Amino acid sequence: MLVEQIYTSCLSQASYYIESNGEAAVIDPSREINHFLDKAKKSNSKIKFIFQTHFHADFISGHLTLSKMTESPIVYGPNADPKYDAIIAKDGDFFEIGKIKIKVIHTPGHTLESTSYLLFDQNEKQHSIFTGDTLFLGDVGIPDVAQRYRDVSKQDLAGLLYDSINNKIKPLDDSITVYPGHGAGSACGKSMMKETFDSLSNQKVVNYSLNGKLNKEEFVQELTQNLPDPPAYFPSNVKLNKEGYCDLDDILKKSLKKIDPLHFKDLINNDSIILLDTRKTEKFIECHLKDSIYIGLDGRFAPWVGEILKDINTPIIIICELNREKEAITRLSRIGFDNCLGHISCDNSTDLELYHETNSLESIDPEIFIKNNSDSNILDVRTKTEYNNGSLKNAINIPLNKIDSKLSYSKGKKLQLFCAGGYRSVIACSILLKNGYTNLVNVEKGYSSINKLIS
């Protein structure tokens, strides 16, 4: 028996490949399905089932393409209502893969259709459980009420989640491994551990949903207070996962077009088109196309694209380093941003100048910032939690995902921006530059370096 976790770090998302005696199953496949196909081909195995834990909101699953390529059925738990052919399993149903079995355990709470899958080995011993967004390590999935249900409250979902975890998962064998759908950094939970799998016995000690320290009423209150607003693109991802989407290969064929300067000049007259600069931070700082938005591929690219651009139908022109255009388009597609019109690939600023007017961004070392930090407004673009854990006394906090709607400074007044390490602050600067702010200064290396110098 083989159990492999395939982890997409940018999304903090885990898919699973399970194999036994020439047959295989995939749980919550990512949109890039070649890994699963290659694994099965290498061992001469047949992918027999594709299990979905729920309709995902934070990424586009590869279940439909994988099903088409392998002629394998898609399996959901109770309450699922996809707009395509799928097996809607009952609570307690078993599926055989080679010499092993997978049991369907309906665990509503994150969503009403949320389902976990319990794996039994060839000796019919409980081996592991794949919990999707029901149970994370150190945490649980937040009630997904904001985008799905009119008649179910977040308190209702939280109560269901408490029952699912305590009545269906907690009684399982302590020795089993918990394989969640996400790890630290995902917007689907509040405070996950950095590890990506753990024993159920340890989770019964460290996870507040399992350790018995909270009764149901206290759990519901703990889970539902201060819930963050879901990113605006989440409902669109649910719709695509539920109703269907284009294959990634088709998206790549449509989008892998190098845009020449003359064609660019025609396209740029459309105000709805976003110029998305995905290059390294220092390259954007040195030179970038006027009105472009920076979100670098070397950071948490896809989630920030979703947070900043919001609408998955936004027409996008990618600006990237040479030979990274396919990576950029693929990573956009992970969250359903499939409307890429083409790319500008370049390794020097001279190439950019052929297309459009260029700008640069003033960026200073933390030591220089500390010496001169009283001569302008200072903006901390980290999250409220990060800010409350320590910042500069004279810094105003507006988290990056609120920067466009909340900022009301004079557009000509000097404004210095910092984040934790220097990635988010450049994104914030690019948004403000596009909105007409002219006197911006990025603080390199962020608060982590600032704090070391002032401590």
Q: Which domains are delineated in the chain?
A: 2-234 (3.60.15.10), 246-359 (3.40.250.10), 362-454 (3.40.250.10)
pLDDT band at 205 (very low <50, low <70, confident <90, very high): very high
pLDDT at 326 over 90: yes
User: Mean pLDDT score of the chain, rounded to an integer?
Assistant: 94
pLDDT at 118 over 80: yes
- Give one word for 21, left, alpha or beta, with left for phi > 0 and alpha for psi -120 to 50: left
Looking at residue 8, its pLDDT comes to 94
pLDDT at 373 over 80: no
Averaged pLDDT, 279-297 = 97
pLDDT band at 423 (very low <50, low <70, confident <90, very high): very high
Looking at residue 138, its pLDDT comes to 94
pLDDT at 150 over 80: no
Looking at residue 162, its pLDDT comes to 97
pLDDT band at 144 (very low <50, low <70, confident <90, very high): confident
**Contact (CB, 8 A) for 19 and 2:** yes
Percent of the chain with pLDDT over 70: 98
pLDDT at 375 over 70: no
Looking at residue 269, its pLDDT comes to 84
Edge-first strand order for the sheet with 94-97 is 94-97, 100-106, 115-120, 126-132, 177-180, 198-199
Looking at residue 350, its pLDDT comes to 83
pLDDT at 147 over 70: no
Q: CA-to-CA distance for 3 and 18, rounded, in angstroms?
A: 5
DSSP string, 137-199: TTEEPPP--TTT-SS--HHHHHHHHHHHIIIIITTS-TTSEEEESB-TT-TTSSS--S-S-EE
* pTM score: 0.93
**Contact (CB, 8 A) for 392 and 449:** no
pLDDT at 146 over 90: no
State the pairing for strand pair 87-88/74-76: parallel
Q: Which two tokens mark 18?
A: 């399970």
| Proportion of the chain in helix, strand, coil states, percent, rounded to 5 | 30, 25, 45
Q: Is 289 helix (H, G, I), strand (E, B) or coil?
A: strand
- Which residues is 275 bridged to in the sheet? 317
pLDDT at 454 over 90: no
pLDDT at 180 over 70: yes
The region of weakest confidence among 48-57, 213-222, 286-295, 405-414 is 405-414
Looking at residue 437, its pLDDT comes to 93
pLDDT band at 404 (very low <50, low <70, confident <90, very high): confident
pLDDT for 21-33, tens place per residue?
999 999 999 999 9
Q: Which residue has the higher pLDDT, 85 or 351?
A: 85
Return phi, psi of residue 86, to 5°.
-160, 155
